Amino acid sequence: MIEKHEQVINENILPRLEGLEMEHAHFKQEMASLKTDLMGVQKGQVQLEKGQKDLELTVVKEGQASRDIMNENKAFTKKLLDHVLRKDEKETQAVIDRTKQKWELFGKISLAIFGAGGLLVVIVQAFQ
């Protein structure tokens, strides 16, 4: 009877047990591989999140730099516009002053000729 049990164990149970042990070893190997893959994915995710944060920070900094440049350009444009307008205002005032001087000179000449007897003197001299 012991021989019969030994034969059953050797023919039926041990081969099955060996198969289960091999399957279990294979399963452990797959689990280790999955854990390694999971760790790689998690590491990649952390790096991706860091990259996104770095990109966000860069975009914010660049946006601030762009706003600074636009404000600087705005200030320069305002200075240039003020300068040009002041120059135009000065040129306009110069034209007004020249016109005023011409009319004043014309008025003085007219007053000298026609005013205070100047015309009378010219007429008297013409008839003499």
pLDDT at 119: 63
d(C-alpha 59, C-alpha 118), whole Å:
84
Render the burial of 41-51: b for 16+ CB within 10 Å, e for the rest: eeeeeeeeeee
Render pLDDT for 17-56 as a digit per residue (tens, 0 to 9): 888 899 999 999 999 999 999 999 999 899 999 999 999 9
Q: Give the model's pLDDT for residue 38.
A: 92
Spatial distance between the Cα atoms of 98 and 92, rounded to a whole number of angstroms: 10
Look at residue 95 and tell me whether its pLDDT is greater than 70. yes
Q: Give pLDDT, residue 52.
A: 93
Specify the length of the chain in residues.
Answer: 128
113 Cβ contact partners less than 8 Å away, ≥ 6 residues apart: 119, 122
Domain locations in the chain? 2-127
Mean pLDDT across the chain, nearest whole number? Answer: 84
Q: What is residue 55's predicted lDDT score, i.e. its pLDDT?
A: 93
3-state secondary structure 61-127: HHHHHHHHHHHHHHHHHHHHHHHHHHHHHHHHHHHHHHHHHHHHHHHHHHHHHHCCCHHHHHHHHHH
Across the range 10-22, mean pLDDT stands at 85
Distance of CA 14 to the CA centre of its chain: 74
Report pTM.
0.41
**Lowest mean pLDDT across 42-46, 71-75, 89-93:** 89-93
